[in-house]
Chains A and B, each alone.
Chain A
Amino acid sequence: MTGRPLSRLSRFNVASLALGLAFLYLPIVILVIYSFNASRLVTVWGGWSLRWYSEFFNDRAMLDAAWMSLRVAAVSATLATGLGTLAAVALSRGERFKGRTLFSGMLYAPLVMPEVITGLSLLLLFVALNAERGFWTVTIAHTTLTMCFVTVVVQSRLGKLDRSLEEAAMDLGCDPLRAFVSVTLPLILPSIVAGWMLAFTLSLDDVVIASFTTGPGSATLPIRIYSEVRLGVKPQINAICTLVLALIAVVIVAASLATKLTSTRGESAAPL
């Protein structure tokens, strides 16, 4: 038994990996297949059809909600990426500044904080400030949540980075800001891109916080889907869900491509 390579898998290992992945993917595959089902009854197969997709594109209220969600996701992800990257830099490159523990606590707690609490507390703030609820309140709420995810993604990349590159740049006469922009930033760009994508998809997904912070007449897509789902399964919802999945798939592929491109560029830039 000695010297057995650790990478050799037992039958139990293979089975648990296969079952685990099947459990994760099978329901999604089934959902996508049934979105092309011609039958009105979701569970009876009536042949392939695109009718539920055309129904969605004729549903004004759903389209409005989808447009609202896309705008919220794009704006909040962009804000969150800026703020989250700054926070990550402060946490991994800063000296122990005053209030650092509180700072990191505020950034890590929302990752696990139950959404009902975050949603309720933000709503009460908006009411106290007399802010009109709608696009901007949801966007601010999503920025607050998702910037914490961006921080973690960028911070873990910064932690793995070779510190001597920055030091070399500064030894060669760069000021700290210039060293950061021309050395550190290109190296962490893949994680910043990944952080934006993650923030975008998280925003596109949220029901609870959006329900608390939105106003009348500006429902997001998940809020609409949720209220439809409560009434039961409808083939049109399968079609909408499939479209959202397709959008997210595009985002993921774009993210991994961007990561690949920037990382090869970052590596070739590193020795310079």
Chain B
Amino acid sequence: MSARRIFAGPVRLAAIAPYLWMALFFLVPFGFVLKISLSQTAVAQPPYLPVFDLTEGLAAIKAAFAAFSLDNYRLLVSDNLYVLSYLRSFVVAAVSTSILLLIGYPVAYAMARLPQRWQGIAMMLVIVPFWTSFLIRIYAWINILQHDGLLNQILLALHIVPAPVVWLSTDTAMYIGIVYSYLPFMILPLYATLAKMDPALPEAASDLGASPQATFWLVTFPLSLPGVGAGCLLCFIPILGEFVIPDLLAGSDSMMIGQTLWLEFFTNKDWPVASAVAVVLLVLLVAPLALYDRLQRRQLEAAR
């Protein structure tokens, strides 16, 4: 008798608690975001209208539905601020992901070629920064990049620059921060696919006379594409909505969409517009999220 069959009953019970939890705290909240994005801003607590009042029954709900409007979405399209924020987020996420791939691939490739014994240690070394606080790592960079920080001190001491360079509050600083924070997310999936690869394949290619470059581009790289896809999505999607890094490291003249949402919510107290910003961002993320979900499922359930 197969274990899978016997397990089926109790296993279904195991799903109940996490299923309900995620439905209540992950899925249902999106309904509220959608609802409030259709509401109007109000000077009240909570700061939006209409508020469902279930005690007044169906009539109140009908009235609330009648009061829904698309005004917030019209604002998003008509005001350049929002369109530019979305565009900037896409550019920043795309550029960062490309840099991450360029840096992460050689590191992951070298890790996969280490002797077996060293691979575990190298992997540990890549994972540990991921465990250490992300905020602290960004703060560490502020230490280095500030006006009289270590980087400028070194550059001045070596006479590379005549005067301190402004690093903080620039896009350069932001890209450094993003690449630094997300590097483990790029390296690990790349390493996982490269380490699993059958070494006989590139060997066969070079036995048949392919140059090392040809072997890499015709055999190794194409075989590592699932890892490239997973690594890129794992970085691209969260970077798109990133708030802390651009807020602390980039200048204030242009904002990413996560900063715009934060500003609308916390500074302007405009919850409906913030919700509309979130809904549009979610819609834009549906395709990459679906792709990521498929890759993740294939990877985790390959052993089934």
A: residues with CB less than 8 A from B are 1-4, 6-9, 12-14, 16-17, 20-21, 23-25, 27-28, 30-31, 34, 41-43, 82-84, 86-87, 89-95, 97, 99, 103-118, 120-122, 124-125, 127-128, 140-141, 143-144, 147, 151-152, 155-156, 159-160, 163, 166-167, 170-171, 176-177, 179-180, 197-198, 201, 204-205, 207-208, 211-212, 222, 225-226, 229-230, 232-233, 237-238, 241, 244-245, 248, 251-252
CA distance A97 to B10 in the complex (A): 12
CA distance A204 to B134 in the complex (A): 10
- For residue B261, CB closer than 8 A to chain A, the reply is yes
A241 touches B133 (CB 8 A): yes
A43 touches B241 (CB 8 A): no
Q: Flag the segment in B30-38, B58-66, B67-75 that touches A.
A: B30-38
A125 touches B25 (CB 8 A): yes
A155 touches B300 (CB 8 A): yes
Beyond A124-B275, A163-B3, A233-B142, whether A103 also contacts B15 by CB under 8 A is yes
- For residue B2, CB closer than 8 A to chain A, the reply is yes
- For residue B91, CB closer than 8 A to chain A, the reply is no
Our count of residue pairs bridging A and B at CB distance below 8 angstroms stands at: 307
Size of the B side of the interface (Cβ < 8 Å), in residues, is 108
- For residue B166, CB closer than 8 A to chain A, the reply is no
B4 touches A93 (CB 8 A): yes
B: residues with CB less than 8 A from A are 1-12, 14-15, 17-19, 21-23, 25-30, 32-33, 36, 46, 52, 103-104, 106-107, 109-111, 113-116, 122, 125-126, 128-129, 131-144, 146, 148-150, 153, 180, 183-184, 187, 199, 202-203, 206-207, 233-234, 237-238, 240-244, 247-248, 258, 261-262, 265-266, 271, 274-275, 278, 281-282, 285, 289, 292-293, 296-297, 300-304
A121 touches B30 (CB 8 A): yes
A13 touches B241 (CB 8 A): no
- Closest chain-A Cβ to B48's Cβ sits at a distance in Å of 9
- Closest chain-B Cβ to A116's Cβ sits at a distance in Å of 5
A residues near B6, Cβ cutoff 8 Å: 170, 176
- Closest chain-B Cβ to A206's Cβ sits at a distance in Å of 9
Which chain A residue shows the least CB distance to B147? Answer: A43
B139 touches A110 (CB 8 A): no
CA distance A106 to B143 in the complex (A): 38
B residues near A128, Cβ cutoff 8 Å: 32, 52
A to B CB contacts below 8 Å, 11 in the list:
A12-B106, A16-B107, A28-B129, A92-B301, A94-B11, A103-B18, A121-B29, A125-B25, A125-B32, A207-B244, A208-B244
CA distance A237 to B140 in the complex (A): 10
CA distance A8 to B238 in the complex (A): 36
B146 touches A233 (CB 8 A): yes
Beyond A105-B293, A205-B134, whether A116 also contacts B21 by CB under 8 A is no
B33 touches A114 (CB 8 A): no
A159 touches B114 (CB 8 A): no
Partner of A43, one of B25, B146, B275: B146
